Amino acid sequence: MNAVCKRDILIGIVGGKGRMGNWFFRFLTDAGYQVLVSDMGTELSSEDLARRCHVVIVSVPMEAFSSVIGRIGPLMPKDAFLTDLCSLKAVQVQEMLQNTVCSVAGSHPLFGPAEDSINGRRVALCPGRGNEWFEWWRSLLESRGACVHCTDAASHDRAMAWVQALNHFILISLGKAVFDQGLDMEELVFLSTPSFSKQMEIVARLFYQDPQLYATIQMANPFAANVLNNFLGVCDKLHEAVLRTDRDAFVELFRSAQAAGKTYMDTVGKQTL
C-alpha cells in the first residue's frame, strides 16, 4: 500500500449493481475514488476486478460468497485488500484468508441501502490479515462520519444472533400474528399507541426486504438457535404467568426486562459522550 497514492487507489465492487453494492459505489465515488463494478451483465467480471484493483469489496448474497471468493481470491496480489459486506463474519473472514495472500478484513454496515449517508451509522470491522489497508479502510469510513467498531468475527456473529436473528424473528412473528387474525386495520391504526405504531412501522419495512436474505440470517448464524431457544423459554414463562394470573412472576420478569433496557440505554449514553 505504501507505494500507492490515495488518488491512484482503484476500488472494485463485486456485486456492485445490487442495492448495497450500489450504495457503496456512490459512497466511494463521492469520496473521490475511482470505482469499477462487476455484476451480472457487466462488461467487467469479478476476476477482472481481482486482477486490476487495489481494493476489492464483495457485496453478494451469502449463498454465493464461497463460490465468488474461491474464484477471485487466488487472483489478488499480495499488496491488495479484500473485504466483504456480509451479515455474518466468522466463516466469511476465514474463507477470504484461506483463498488469498492479500490483506483481508470483514466489514458489516449495520444499516440498509435506504440511508442517504454513512454519517452517524455504525459499521463493524473484523480484522483478518494486514494492518495498513485495515487502517486505511477504517479511516475512510470514520472520515465520512461512520461509527466504526472493531471486533473479532466470532463476537460479531454472536451479537448478530440477537441484533438480527432474534430481532427479525420477533418482527416476523408480530406481522404474521396480525395478518392471521384478519383485523380491521383502520380500527387498529386508530387505536394504536405510539409504541405499537413504531413496531408496526418496522414490520412494514419487511415489505421491501428479500425474504431469502432474512432466511439466511436466521439459519446460517451458528449462535441463532440457542438465542431463539432462550427467547422462547422466556416467552413460555411469561405466558404461564399471565395464564395463572401470577402477578409476582410477571413483575419479576418485567423488572428483568427493565434492568436490561436501562443497562442498554446507559451504555448508549456512555458511547455518545
Residue range 19-67, pLDDT digits in tens: 999 999 999 999 999 999 999 999 999 999 999 999 999 999 999 999 9
pLDDT(4) > 60: no
Determine the pLDDT at residue 251. Answer: 98
The band of 3, judged by pLDDT with boundaries at 50, 70 and 90, is very low
pLDDT of residue 269: 87
Provide mean pLDDT across the span 119-146.
Answer: 97
Burial 95-129 (b: 16+ CB within 10 A, else e): bbbebbebbbbbbbbebeeeeeebeebebbbbbbb
For residue 75, give the DSSP letter. Answer: G
Which of 88-97, 130-139, 206-215, 238-247 comes out lowest in average pLDDT? 206-215
- pLDDT over 60 (residue 167): yes
Beta strands in the chain (DSSP E): 10-14, 34-38, 55-58, 81-84, 103-109, 122-129, 147-150
Q: Per mean pLDDT, which range of 3-17, 29-43, 93-107 is the poorest?
A: 3-17
CA dihedral of 127, 131, 135, 137, whole degrees rounded to 10: -60
What is the average per-residue pLDDT within 6-10? Answer: 80
Q: Mean per-residue pLDDT for 232-250? A: 98
pLDDT band at 252 (very low <50, low <70, confident <90, very high): very high
Mean pLDDT of the chain: 95
* pLDDT score for 51: 98
Residue 2 has pLDDT above 80, yes or no: no
